[in-house]
Amino acid sequence: MTLCASLRTLTKSQTKRTLNALKLYHFAYHTNPPSQSHAIAFDPKTPDVACGSGNVRHARHLLDKSTQEDLSQYNHLLFEYSRADRNQVALRLFVRLNHSGLPVEGSTLSCVLKVCGCLFEQNVGRQVHCRCIRSGFVEDVSVGTALVDMYMKTVNVGDGRRVFDEMGERNVVSWTSLLTGYARNGLSVQALELFFRMQVEGIKPNPYTFKTVFGALADDGMVETGIQLHASVIKNGFESTMFVCNSLISMYSKSGIVGDARAVFDSMENRDEVSWNGMVAGYLTNGCNLEALEMFYQMRLVGLKLTQVLFATVIKLCANLKELGFTRQLHCRVLKNGYGFEHNIRTALMVAYSKCNVMDDAFQMFSMMHGFQNVVSWTAMISGYVQNGGRMQAVTLFCQMNREGVRPNHFTYSTILTAQPAISIFQVHAQVIKSDYEKSPSVGTALLDAYIKIGYVDEAAKVFELIDEKDIVAWSAMVAGYAQRGDTEGAVKIFLQLAKEGVKPNEFTFCSVINACAAPTAAVEQGKQFHACSIKSTLANALCISSALVTMYAKKGNIESANEVFKRQGERDLVSWNSMISGYAQHGQGKKALQVFEEMRRRDLEMDDITFIGVISACTHAGLVDEGQRYFNVMVKDHHIDPTMEHYSCMVDLYSRAGLLEKAMDIINQMPFPAGSTVWRTVLAACRVHRNLELGKHAAEKLVSLQPQDSAAYVLLSNIYAATGNWQERAKVRKLMDKRNVKKEAGYSWIEVKNKTYSFLAGDLSHPLSDHIYAKLEELSIALKDVGYQPDTNYVLHDVEEEHKETILSQHSERLAIAFGLISTPPGTPIQIVKNLRVCGDCHTVIKLISMLEARDIVVRDSNRFHHFKGGLCTCGDYW
């Protein structure tokens, strides 16, 4: 069905809407019936008339004085009103013309259709369309073009295209109107297809056509096509047309190719305010703030008058640079030029003051907009408070905004969700659902991020599933959420899902999933695979990824690979340096850790509290007591870093491991705050090793008072009693555990073989290859005795026969895991296991011997550190 036919078959509801819209159309007729003078009485005080230009007043004067209606006078006045953007008055004048009985011309209908498009009056436009059909002007190319433009402006792309398709004759203006309509309605691909089609049909594009296409390409990020069309502009001789060049500057700037935008700007013979503002805004958008500032000064040197848009752009530049003095100067200039009451200027000033942390001035600008505040200004003010630490003020403002009936948009919700804990995420979530913003990518991402920060990862996952169009920010946030929880499987699953859906991961996605692979229970090969993926994506050299790789390799026992990544880093941040220091510390390579630290000192790099935790830990694991004390003093005196509980814990650990328990207690007594559970657990463990029963009992009491349900205090104390042969007191401790329902953590060991992880418990018989595992252990037992191994039954803390103690030792979980690794992997293959508890001294001796007998490198990560066994030796030097 053609559009003409469809206009005659409107439904009742459509007809009703059309009649309602035509009340304005018939207003002039009903207030001035034909029996009276046809002249409409124009009130000179009417705002949209009284401010008219001289041409409008003169034309209206001639029409009002004439005793006989003249179509040329009507048309002249109608065109003048349209050019002056007084569309309401123009439409009333057309009504008068319609009832005058005078015939209309195609130019008249084209003009009134333009007015309908500007007023977004599609229903009135349809009636004019009918008039075009009745008057026989529907085939007129200018009328057809105006109809296309009207439908496109009123967001009726389908009818606009049908009018175009039914046109008998089309020119470049018709095609450009259709192209502009598609671009305006976000259909950039279709607009580009039409652009090429018009040329196939022999229509040569004009400068306005190119301007439209470049705008569409910029919005859709198709800069490669834009570069090709730039060549066509030059070929067609339009490279000196100012508005074409302006659109090219905009396209290149929006596409991040600000250098090409500048090249276009420099080639222009003539430039207007749009050219300069496009260049300043382009630099600003691409983060080139200093270049934007330089461009602004060049603009002032050529004497260009500052427009409202230019002022707004430069004030945004001041906000980015946090230039308070320059902002105040611009504020004065704005007032002098008469732009002080413009809403966008005041909003820009408010944002600039808030970014300069002058919240009083920002709030003053906000208050001056009272009565004209919109959601943008409210959101900007809320954001300012959040960014400057005023979370409570932000929440108060958010509540006031709701009370005053201003509906928050997605930016508002995304901002206020960062104000927790000052605001309840659950209340905001409820309002988000009510406002139907839950599926918005920005709001959904902010919601899931807020849930992740309070540890509600499962709730975050539910929010994530509801987001309609998940962007890479949402995907990355979800991967990071699982990584923070230590859920490697969840993080990997999300990463694989985004890859399956064709979403390209960015450096933050890789960084999060690699961090997840650093978890103790994560498979060793997973991190390597994601490293390979990052290389394939050409992102491996990104600072956050390389820093994450250093951390991951160090935590997974591959300190050599961590060092290789560290050495290849072109740029290193503090995370990389700290990861390398703590990595060497955890692997027992204290001297290498201190070498990295001294390199930082030579380069005069910034250090933080984490740096010194790594350094003191390195001294702790290497038994470098004096060095540890010296670096603690360097931290306090030279770097003026106040020691935290973690620093004091490291110092207590340093002295406790060395058996200097009195010095450890001196540190505890000198601390400016009460010792935490970690400190007392460290002392208690040292008391067990050094068999200091009295101090051990004191530490256990402190630990139990702090964490009554933590099994460590009971187990370590009972182990002290067992080590000293006091089985009666040990039994009392165990009974107390049962009475208080405190469960001892079972000792597990994990090993990864062929990308599958296997877990073992002491004396475990659940594995399908248990017979082979125990056979291997028996074989090893014989070989161990042949090289002089004698079991140290002091590590069996049970009151049983000596022979049974040896059996218990031989079935510790780490030995089962190693035996399985030996029978499941080819000879010479390195073996790596993880244990959730501290490896016992007897097992440590046995693993050293196995590494020699089997010619295997064995890495054991226990609850304290890494042990690298090779050729009968361990990197810890038997000090752990």
User: What's the confidence (pLDDT) of residue 798?
Assistant: 53
pLDDT more than 90, % of the chain: 43
Helix (H) / strand (E) element for 348: namely helix 343-355
Which residue's structure tokens are 């031989």? 810
pTM: 0.68
Structure tokens at 144: 């057809």
Residues linked to residue 873 through DSSP beta bridges, in sequence order: 870
Asked which of 273-282, 303-312, 555-564, 637-646 is least confident by mean pLDDT, the reply is: 303-312
pLDDT by residue (tens digit) across 297-319?
A: 898 888 888 888 888 888 998 99
Supply the DSSP string of 413-448, one letter for each residue.
Answer: HHHHGGGTTSS-HHHHHHHHHHTT-TT-HHHHHHHH
Mean pLDDT, residues 243-261 taken together = 90
Distance separating alpha carbons of residues 176 and 412, to the nearest angstrom? 38
Helix (H) / strand (E) element for 609: namely helix 609-622
Span between the terminal Cα atoms of the chain, in Å:
87
Residues linked to residue 832 through DSSP beta bridges, in sequence order: 859
Distance separating alpha carbons of residues 277 and 274, to the nearest angstrom? 5
User: What's the confidence (pLDDT) of residue 801?
Assistant: 54
Region of residue 19 (left: phi > 0; alpha: psi -120 to 50; beta: else)? alpha
Four-point Cα dihedral 689, 764, 834, 875, nearest 10: 50
Which residue's structure tokens are 């652009």? 195
Mean pLDDT, residues 693-711 taken together = 86
User: What's the confidence (pLDDT) of residue 824?
Assistant: 95
Cβ atoms 850, 873 nearer than 8 A: no
Q: Name the residue with higher pLDDT: 343 or 799.
A: 343
Helix (H, G, I), strand (E, B) or coil at 867: strand
Cβ atoms 239, 269 nearer than 8 A: no
Mean pLDDT, residues 162-185 taken together = 85
Cβ-based neighbours of 803, under 8 Å, separated by 6 or more: none
pLDDT by residue (tens digit) across 721-770?
A: 877 778 788 788 878 888 888 887 788 999 989 878 899 998 889 999 99
Cβ-based neighbours of 210, under 8 Å, separated by 6 or more: 229, 232, 233, 236, 238, 244, 247
Mean pLDDT, residues 612-623 taken together = 93
Mean pLDDT, residues 326-353 taken together = 89
Distance separating alpha carbons of residues 71 and 451, to the nearest angstrom? 68
Distance separating alpha carbons of residues 722 and 718, to the nearest angstrom? 6
Supply the DSSP string of 230-265, one letter for each residue.
Answer: HHHHHHTT-TT-HHHHHHHHHHHHHTT-HHHHHHHH
What one-letter code names the amino acid at 661? L
Long-range contacts of 93-97 (CB under 8 A, 24+ apart): 93/40, 95/25, 95/26, 95/27, 95/28, 95/29, 96/28, 96/29, 96/32, 96/38, 96/40, 97/71
Distance separating alpha carbons of residues 612 and 637, to the nearest angstrom? 13
Q: What is the DSSP letter of 522?
A: S
Residues linked to residue 831 through DSSP beta bridges, in sequence order: 858
pLDDT by residue (tens digit) across 413-431?
A: 999 999 988 899 999 999 9
User: What's the confidence (pLDDT) of residue 22?
Assistant: 38
Helix (H, G, I), strand (E, B) or coil at 832: strand
pLDDT greater than 90 at residue 370: no
Q: Name the residue with higher pLDDT: 483 or 122.
A: 483
Helix (H, G, I), strand (E, B) or coil at 789: coil
Structure tokens at 65: 């004085």
pLDDT by residue (tens digit) across 485-513?
A: 889 999 999 999 999 998 999 999 999 99
What one-letter code names the amino acid at 364? Q
Distance of CA 503 to the CA centre of its chain: 15
Each domain of the chain, given as residue ranges in start order, spans 1-169, 373-460, 748-874
pLDDT greater than 80 at residue 621: yes
* Bond prior to 421 in cis (omega within 30° of 0): yes
User: What's the confidence (pLDDT) of residue 70?
Assistant: 67
User: What's the confidence (pLDDT) of residue 402?
Assistant: 92
Helix (H) / strand (E) element for 756: namely strand 756-761
User: What's the confidence (pLDDT) of residue 794?
Assistant: 65
Structure tokens at 828: 């010479």
- How, if at all, do strands 831-835 and 858-861 pair? parallel
Q: Tell me the Cα Rg of the chain.
A: 39
pLDDT greater than 80 at residue 435: yes
Distance separating alpha carbons of residues 761 and 814, to the nearest angstrom? 8
Cβ atoms 758, 767 nearer than 8 A: yes
pLDDT greater than 60 at residue 567: yes
Cα distances from 559 to residues 204, 562, 594, 738, in angstroms, run: 65, 5, 15, 42
Distance separating alpha carbons of residues 452 and 122, to the nearest angstrom? 47
User: What's the confidence (pLDDT) of residue 791?
Assistant: 83
Asked which of 95-109, 177-191, 647-661, 753-767 is least confident by mean pLDDT, the reply is: 95-109
pLDDT greater than 60 at residue 529: yes
Region of residue 878 (left: phi > 0; alpha: psi -120 to 50; beta: else)? left
pLDDT by residue (tens digit) across 30-76?
A: 333 333 333 333 333 333 433 344 444 544 444 444 434 567 777 77
What one-letter code names the amino acid at 389? G
Distance separating alpha carbons of residues 737 and 749, to the nearest angstrom? 24
Mean pLDDT (the chain) is 84
What one-letter code names the amino acid at 189? V
Four-point Cα dihedral 793, 798, 801, 803, nearest 10: -40
Task: Please classify residue 612 by burial: count the beta carbons closer than 10 Å to its beta carbon, then call 0-12 exposed, 13-18 middle and 19+ buried.
Answer: buried
pLDDT greater than 90 at residue 663: yes
Mean pLDDT, residues 267-274 taken together = 90
Confidence at 803, pLDDT banded by 50, 70, 90:
low
Cβ-based neighbours of 559, under 8 Å, separated by 6 or more: 553, 583, 584, 587, 589, 866
Nearest Cα to Cα of residue 397 among 409, 385, 413:
385
Confidence at 179, pLDDT banded by 50, 70, 90:
confident
Mean pLDDT, residues 520-542 taken together = 87
Structure tokens at 280: 């300043």
Confidence at 853, pLDDT banded by 50, 70, 90:
very high
Q: Name the residue with higher pLDDT: 614 or 63.
A: 614
Q: Which range, 118-132, 191-205, 649-663, is most confident?
A: 649-663
Distance separating alpha carbons of residues 463 and 459, to the nearest angstrom? 6
Distance separating alpha carbons of residues 228 and 235, to the nearest angstrom? 11
